[in-house]
Amino acid sequence: MDRGAGVGSSAVVGCGGSSGDGPSPDAQPSTDGGDLRPSDAGDAGGVDATLGDGGRGDGGAGDAAAPEEATVEAGDAAANDADSDAPSLPVLEAGACGDPFGGGPLTTSSTHLDIGVHDPSMIWDGYRYFLFATGGTLNVRSSADILTWTDAGNIFASIPAWVTTTLGANPGSLWAPDISYFGGTFRVYYAGSTFGSNTSVIGLATNTNLESGSWVDQGLVMQSTSADDFNAIDPNVSFDQNCTPWLAFGSFWSGIKLRKLDATTGMPATDDVTTYSLASRDGGAIEAASIVSHNGFYYLFVSFDACCQGVNSTYRTMVGRGTSITGPYADMAGTDMMDGAAEQLLATAGRYIGPGGGTAWKDGDTYLYVYHYYDGEGGGASKLQIRPIVFGPDDWPTLSDPLFP
């Protein structure tokens, strides 16, 4: 999200969820195949094929569209009436990292779906997909088939008081939630800020079972002020070869940063307090970082240029790679991403304007990139798309056709 413009379970073993596990030979993907509040989930018509099965036997094609504004209170879930009704999480295999619940069914459609979203992230919990995005008090949606989405409540009933106190004002809306799973807990890192400012915070909310909708705010993880040369927004969790969690973040200013996290608390680690610099455009537009690993490489996905301007948005999705999670990351020519280099994966094409603000993540054996674009045939509204990430013989990624147009 372009906020820097103008500035030069029963089992607790295993970890991971939103991003890939540490570098090791991984299976190839199974297919080649105004207001920023999440709203207007699309119709489920035109389903063509299912690309795999995550093991849930129930349907979901009849799920209702998400309402334009969620009204449930924190700790409630529109689709789940009580904690006792929520299914138990599947038992994880020891050592699982990056995709501890396996992958869900990747259903494709030839029908255009108008699923309103901005800065999305996703996870499969062994039963359903859950979708998180920028807006208000962080609405959550769930789906059994990745096409039809049901309102699953909001993480918060109101903006946490500590956010307002720390920023000095109520930001009105929380941004760019990132969902992950480690230490036996689902974790959403989220940002609070205002456009054009680096007076920002990253917070953490936790939940042991997404089916219950009961979230606990853990408070401040990281912050930046006008005295800093970075911007503490757009958080994303990834994992190294030891299954240690790391938090990438940043927008404009000096670019993308990385901090090691404590695998138990989810807070910044005390055994490594270094803030690593991963990518920069010398104060220019770079943000929305996410990291996955594959076959000995880490891949840093970012967005260049301007979001949030409807049909005038110029977002592009870019990528670089390195052999250490802390960098350096480079393009195909070997130019460091700290020097503004990266390979382009997506740019404006037809009605799909400014594709970016997304999250690369591992869903079972399949790598996915979930992102938003601005619909040139829909008044510039931001909408959801999901593409499989495919790695070529040279281990550089490309993005396949979207699961739905």
Are the beta carbons of 269 and 261 closer than 8 angstroms?
yes
pLDDT at 15: 55
Are the beta carbons of 288 and 225 closer than 8 angstroms?
no
Q: What is the DSSP string of 172-183?
A: SS-EEEEEEEET
Q: Which CATH class is domain 47-399?
A: mainly beta
Q: Where are the alpha helices (DSSP H) in 121-182?
A: 161-167
In the DSSP assignment, the letter for residue 239 is E
Asked about 68 being catalytic, the answer comes back as no
Mind listing the pLDDT tens digit for each residue in 327-373? Answer: 999 999 999 999 999 999 999 999 999 999 999 999 999 999 999 99
Mind listing the pLDDT tens digit for each residue in 267-281? Answer: 999 999 999 999 999
pTM score of the predicted model: 0.82
Residue 71 backbone phi and psi in degrees, to 5: -120, 0
Residue ranges covered by each domain of the chain = 47-399
Asked if residue 312 has pLDDT above 60, the reply is yes
Instruction: Residue 230: name the closest of 174, 172, 289, 168 by CA.
Output: 289
Instruction: Residue 381: name the closest of 198, 203, 118 by CA.
Output: 118
Mind listing the pLDDT tens digit for each residue in 70-97? Answer: 323 333 333 333 344 545 554 444 345 6
Set 21, 63, 119, 217: catalytic member: 119
Strand partners, 205: 188, 217
Set 76, 211, 240, 287: catalytic member: 287
Asked about 377 being catalytic, the answer comes back as no
Mind listing the pLDDT tens digit for each residue in 28-51? Answer: 333 333 333 333 333 333 333 333
